[in-house]
Chain A
């Protein structure tokens, strides 16, 4: 079983601060995705990374896939209240099912005005 550990589990910050959340595993993933979920809604895909060392930017969000494809990070610059939500990482295991994603338990981010 491939596990994805996310940290921290909870994060509460003030508007304008920077933050980084992490997604780690002992397994290699052929691709990894980040989702954001708001209360009462399903997760919404933010980004997919597939190459070790890859960095992708989405406005104030920067996603990085580790060189060994076992870990990933999400950095948010100048957080805003609209960034509040549950951030989930999910990966497709290398050599595993071609469709089944393993999800982490998420980081619950609260950005206070």
Chain B
């Protein structure tokens, strides 16, 4: 596609429920990233996928968070047993290579846990 597409754009869920967030990167971009943006906290790195290499999961805050990327394209970020502190905007980005020279971000998914 022309840009990075994320869905849903907004998600309200009850505490304890599982949620899935989807990212469709720019076609041909081998690198895909998930970041979390909380009010006043800046962007926090979550996970990085590059081609067929093992993902860098070092930013995932707990084992309730997981992500996969199928066929080197679409990625899904799953949060199990959501907590109120998980409320944030989840941003996906992609780049042609390692991204050291810039990402293209999606519009994000605003997650609210009530």
Contact = CB atoms under 8 A, between A and B. Distances in A.
Contacts of B100: 30-31, 92, 98-99, 101
Nearest to B10: A40
A40 B110 CA distance: 9
A2 B40 CA distance: 18
Interface string B31-50: 10101000011110100101
Q: Is the interface on chain B under 10, 10 to 19, 20 to 34, or 35 or more residues?
A: 20 to 34
B48 A42 contact: no
Contact of A42 (B56, B102, B108): B108
A88 interface: yes
Q: Is the interface on chain A under 10, 10 to 19, 20 to 34, or 35 or more residues?
A: 20 to 34
Contact of B43 (A31, A41, A44, A88): A88
Interface stretch (A14-22, A55-63, A103-111): A103-111
A42 B102 CA distance: 13
Contacts of B50: 99
A42 B4 contact: yes
A31 B101 CA distance: 7
Nearest to B58: A100
A45 B103 contact: yes
Contacts of A104: 42
B103 to A, nearest CB: 7
Given A31-B101, A99-B31, A99-B100, A42 B106 contact: yes
B93 interface: yes
Nearest to B35: A103
B13 interface: no
A45 B100 CA distance: 12
A4 to B, nearest CB: 8
Interface in A62-113: 88, 90, 92, 97-101, 103-106
B72 interface: no
Contact of A105 (B4, B42, B102): B42
9 contacts: A30-B100, A31-B101, A40-B108, A44-B105, A45-B103, A48-B102, A88-B43, A100-B56, A105-B41
